[in-house]
Structure 1
Amino acid sequence: MSSTVSHVLHSLSLAAALAATGCAHTPGPKEVASAYARALEEERLAEARALTSVPPEEQQAFAEHYADASVRKARAEEVRAALPELQARAPALTLLQTPEGWRVVEEKPADAPRAVLGRFLDAVEAGDWATAWSLLSDPLRARYTPERLREDFKREPLSAERVRRARLALKGEVKVTGVGAEFPLGKERSVRLVREAGEYKVAAIE
């Protein structure tokens, strides 16, 4: 079954489920995230992938990553744990779900690049290569796939040390410019992020 057909069938089944509960509307962020976690747990990987931004050419890497039940379970638990602080993001705009409803987040200049670098490092350390790849700059995403990113990190003996230094830099000062942000590492080295369509992306970790 093609990915398009699978996506359509899943969308119809989700819509039918919502209609049955009197909620016939476009699924919101919490509904999509919950359906994604449930699909992972139940090993419905085609349906889970259809609820992500993973392109069709990366579906094999997605399936391989979540072939292990323990990996699927960990990701589902991670998604559910994040639901109370769910965010909606767009270039130059972040909304946070609070008990009082959705609220616009007014960020300090350093907050956005710090959050992106933190998400990237968290993804690398968790082996979530699809997410790590999605946070790379355009040139790096063109050069890599999630699978190749994983292989390069495993082959490179200094990868763990670079991630450790980047994690330390994350706690330090941030130099924000018109085109990106830098986290100094010392000796004229830095973790660099660039702004693409209003979003920060990782360009180099040293």
Structure 2
Amino acid sequence: MTGPRDRWSELTGGHAGEEYSQRFARLAASGHDIHGEATFCAALLKPAARILDAGCGTGRIAIRLAELGHHCTGVDVDPSMLAVARRDAPDQEWLLGDLARLDTLGLNPGFDLALAAGNVIPLLADGTEAAVVRQLAAVLRPAGLLVTGMGLDAAHLPLPEPTVTLTEFDHWCAQAGLTLRQRYATWSGDPYYEGCGYAVSVHSRLTM
């Protein structure tokens, strides 16, 4: 039995892997830093940390974090995205699966950090967001971190209007035993302010 279709699949039809990869390759070739998320996460971690890249896409962030010495597992629901990741980094662990059902993938818990970048949360299937947050919290070690990046308005989303508010997101996190530690407006660490269109949030799993 399958659940509701995620918004990413509705937008792309599940065939965006090569196009997505080429877009970032063009950005890199033009001199843009495409590793902001990885740099941000690496600054939060001790060496050789275990990281779950939830909604890893083509593996851009997980591959960079592995280059920095961390142990990364990527999970995505889009086979076309994972095909690129597996081609570019065949020795890393890439799992095809629904984030709302992480517990069916045989993951060993105790991750130091779970990452949901690239508007993963707003692009989930409608009604599954709280379940996904619970699943991500469950794979973290005590004091482990959930790091998310999401657009809060149409200018920062591939959607006509936002699907998640920070109030809702923080409520789901609290229900899952996570507490907000830091919030920024960009992956570069610019201060978050009320009304800005993007939020990078760092939540920590409670130790009790």
TM interval, shorter chain, is under 0.3
Which of structures 1 and 2 has the larger relative contact order (alpha carbons within 8 angstroms, sep 6+)? 2
Q: Which has the larger radius of gyration?
A: 1
TM-score of the two chains, using structure 2 as the length reference: 0.26
Task: Give the number of the structure whose residues are more often helix, by fraction.
Answer: 1
Task: Give the number of the structure whose residues are more often strand, by fraction.
Answer: 2
TM-score of the two chains, using structure 1 as the length reference: 0.26
